[in-house]
């Protein structure tokens, strides 16, 4: 030990467990217990803290391959997602990474350009300890995989799998009721072409609320989940919608709503003076679009964080029962909604 009570960091080589043991004045076995999370009840808390301080002082980095051999775990989690270009999924990934912290590495498995589904067996062979699935259409048998699985943003799913999803019902009612209060009776619903339970649930809730509201009607269209695709669909449909008296559009996602705003900018259609627009997600850009977008806030970050927390609990306890977690949503009203009287005058 040096006069300051600290040993100098070994020079010319990477610090080893033996260096940590010498620094903390413990055995290599004790260091192993601490870094592999097996010290509880076997190593005194004060000794554990001394080992951790020695690790920090020396800059010791755990050899993940060696630790996997000791623990039988890779400390790696896979997130299966449709794409990373969509800002919703980048926020999901940020939430997952935050919940995992430094204890796990995050492997991102993205669907191919033709929407090919990642092979879950390959992920298991790679050695992941758990899988988060944010991609519809993936068939999962957790018994065969031998790994805990959590489904993201799936309001309906098999009872043997844990799910985290959004409770959109109250917010959908608030959005539809607000449009009706503003005088809108003829609406269009811009849906996603992607086959997913979350989109089916949003569509069903909007249509059910409109059916429960006397004197309203709705027409529907679908677009791929890109701004360009949605813009093209809205530009094509708007003349017929306008002739049919449509005064408001609800989009299944903010990305689709961005496409609608892009189309209306080209068509010189004023939002909300000529048509009102609402959607789902509340992505960061939705507060700065022109006009700022009224949308149902679905926190993608919270979805990722909560799902990863559930997965960590499942990985820690193999006998833990599957859970269903519903995340609250809220309607964020901005300036993309307006009264129908101005709409009808300008459209006349």
| Residue 3 belongs to a domain | no
Same-domain check for residues 22 and 82: no
Number of separate domains in the chain: 3
| pLDDT value for 4 | 42
Q: Which of 144, 133, 208, 139 is nearest to 176 (CA)?
A: 208
214 with 245, same domain?
A: yes
Tell me the whole-structure pTM to 2 decimals: 0.77
User: Does one domain contain both 175 and 286?
Assistant: yes
CATH of the domain at 56: 1.10.260.40
pLDDT at res. 152: 94
Residues 52 and 149 in one domain: no
Please compute the mean of the pLDDT values over residues 70-93 and round it to a whole number: 79
Share of the chain above pLDDT 90, in %: 57
Which one of 25, 41, 71 terminates a domain? Answer: 71
Question: Nearest 5°: CA angle at 67, between 61 and 71?
Answer: 145
- 340 and 241 both lie in a single domain: yes
Q: For residues 47 and 119, state if they share a domain.
A: no
5 belongs to a structural domain: no
Quick one: which of 225, 136, 213, 208 has its CA closest to 172?
A: 208
Instruction: Identify whether residues 158 and 102 lie together within a single domain.
Output: yes
The range of the structural domain enclosing residue 129 comes to: 76-165+300-328
What percentage of the chain carries pLDDT values higher than 70?
A: 87
- Mean pLDDT over each residue of the chain, to the nearest integer: 87
Is 137's pLDDT higher than 90? no
Is it the case that residue 286 has pLDDT exceeding 80? Answer: yes
pLDDT at 313 (0 to 100): 92
Looking at the chain, how many residues does it have?
A: 348
pLDDT in tens, 158-210: 888 899 999 999 999 999 999 999 999 999 999 999 888 899 999 999 999 99
| 178 and 284 housed in the same domain | yes
For residue 188, list its beta bridge partners.
219, 249
- Domain limit, last residue, from 71, 94, 115: 71
Instruction: Give the whole-angstrom CA distance, residue 225 versus residue 258.
Output: 10
151 or 117, greater pLDDT: 151
Among 26, 45, 71, the domain-final residue is: 71
CA distance 86 to 230: 14
Whether residues 181 and 311 share a domain: the answer is no
Q: Measured over all CA atoms, what is the biggest interatomic distance in the chain, rounded to whole angstroms? A: 88
71, pLDDT greater than 50? no
Q: Are both 145 and 54 inside the same structural domain?
A: no
Q: In CATH, what number is assigned to the domain containing residue 226?
A: 3.40.50.2300
Q: Could you give the CA distance from residue 10 to residue 54 in angstroms, rounded to a whole number?
A: 13
**78 with 107: CB under 8 angstroms?**
yes
């Amino acid at each position: 030990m040096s006069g300051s009570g600290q040993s100098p960091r070994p020079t010319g080589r990477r610090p080893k467990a033996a260096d940590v043991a010498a620094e903390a004045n413990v055995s290599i076995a004790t260091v192993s217990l601490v870094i592999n999370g097996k010290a509880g009840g076997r190593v005194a808390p004060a000794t554990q803290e001394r080992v951790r301080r020695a690790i920090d002082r020396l800059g010791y980095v755990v050899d993940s391959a060696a630790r996997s051999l000791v623990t039988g775990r890779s400390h790696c989690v896979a997130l299966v997602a449709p794409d990373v270009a969509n800002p919703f999924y980048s926020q999901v990934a940020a939430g997952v990474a935050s919940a995992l912290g430094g204890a796990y590495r995050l492997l991102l498995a993205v669907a191919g350009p033709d929407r090919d589904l990642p092979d879950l067996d390959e992920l298991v062979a790679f050695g992941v300890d758990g899988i988060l699935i944010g991609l519809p259409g993936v068939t999962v048998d957790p018994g065969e995989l031998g790994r805990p699985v959590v489904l993201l943003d799936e309001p309906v799913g098999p009872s043997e799998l844990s799910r985290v999803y959004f409770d959109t019902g109250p917010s959908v009612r608030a959005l539809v009721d607000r449009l009706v209060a503003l005088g809108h009776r003829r609406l269009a619903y811009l849906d996603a072409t992607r086959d997913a339970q979350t989109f089916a649930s949003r569509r069903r809730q909007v249509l059910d609320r409109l059916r429960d509201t006397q004197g309203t009607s709705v027409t529907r269209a679908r677009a791929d989940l890109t701004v360009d695709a949605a813009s093209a669909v809205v530009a094509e449909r708007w003349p017929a919608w306008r002739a049919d008296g449509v005064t408001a559009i609800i989009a299944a996602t903010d990305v689709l709503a961005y496409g609608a705003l892009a189309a209306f900018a080209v068509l010189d259609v004023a939002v909300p003076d000529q048509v009102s627009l609402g959607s789902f997600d509340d992505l960061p850009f939705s507060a700065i679009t022109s006009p700022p977008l009224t949308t149902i806030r679905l926190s993608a970050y919270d979805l990722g964080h909560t799902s990863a927390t559930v997965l960590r609990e499942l990985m820690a306890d193999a006998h833990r029962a599957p859970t269903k977690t519903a995340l609250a949503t809220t309607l964020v009203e901005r300036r993309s909604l307006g009264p129908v009287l101005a709409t009808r005058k300008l459209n006349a």
